Amino acid sequence: MRTVRVLRWVLAALLAALAIAVLVAILDGGGDATTATTVPGCEAVSAPEARDVSLPAPKQTVKRGEPLTADVETSCGSFEIALDSKRSPKTVNSFVYLAREGFYDGLDFYKVVSGFAIYGGDPLGDGSGGPGYSVVEPPPAKAKYSKGKVAMAREPGRPAGYSGSRFFIATSVETGLPADFALLGKVTEGYGTVARINELATPEQEAAQPVLIEKIGIRKG
């Protein structure tokens, strides 16, 4: 009987300790015991507020074939995009202009589709925002949007090559998309960061936690 009482006492103590641990977790979480899904290497950040933007269209300053690289810093790490100014000088010019204006700083990856692509660059955060102007530059007829390729997103019904500020990075070996999206470039360094963001995809095609574009820098070469 004494052994049974001891076992009951031990069980009661374990249950009490578990209850305390749960209570601490709730208090640490601000009253919610559910913690956000995360992946190693991603910082915990807050989602940005939606904002309306209206910028004037830029003058063409990027020369065709000019070697340019975009250094993208995010809350999940960094990566580099070799910008395709040879095939898309107007599209690259617009992206460079927006980056240098600080337009992208603080925006999030508003759409994340598992095994397909991650989307960023929308100041409204719902897939409908833009910079207040648009660019049209149709891509080559045989353009492919494969893993690591970066292109500009557009709404259905817009002409081929139409773009504002929204872009996507393909995470599929072959997306199967038609050649309708203006080319921007290709991720040449840090693709692991892109894959890390893609790991946060939910069935709702959103990131399980906010992922911010902290800064995009442009450099020659």
Same domain, 98 and 192: yes
Q: What is the pLDDT of residues 13-40, one digit of tens each?
A: 544 444 434 333 323 333 333 334 568 8
Query: How much is the pLDDT for 189?
Result: 98
pTM of the model: 0.82
Domain that holds residue 75: 68-220
Section 92-99 average pLDDT: 98
Q: What is the pLDDT of residues 60-89, one digit of tens each?
A: 999 999 999 999 999 999 999 999 999 999
Query: How much is the pLDDT for 4?
Result: 42
Same domain, 100 and 16: no
Give DSSP secondary structure letters for 83-145.
Answer: E-TTT-HHHHHHHHHHHHTTSSTT-B--EEETTTEEEE--SSSSS----S--EE-PPPTT---
The enclosing domain of 77 has a CATH number of 2.40.100.10
Same domain, 122 and 191: yes
Query: How much is the pLDDT for 37?
Result: 57
Helix (H) or strand (E) holding 193: helix 191-198
Same domain, 31 and 137: no
The residues, any chain, with a CB within 8 Å of residue 149's CB and separated by 6 or more, are 169, 170, 183, 185, 186, 187
Confidence band (pLDDT; 50, 70, 90) for 137?
A: very high
Q: What is the pLDDT of residues 98-121, one digit of tens each?
A: 999 999 999 999 999 999 999 999
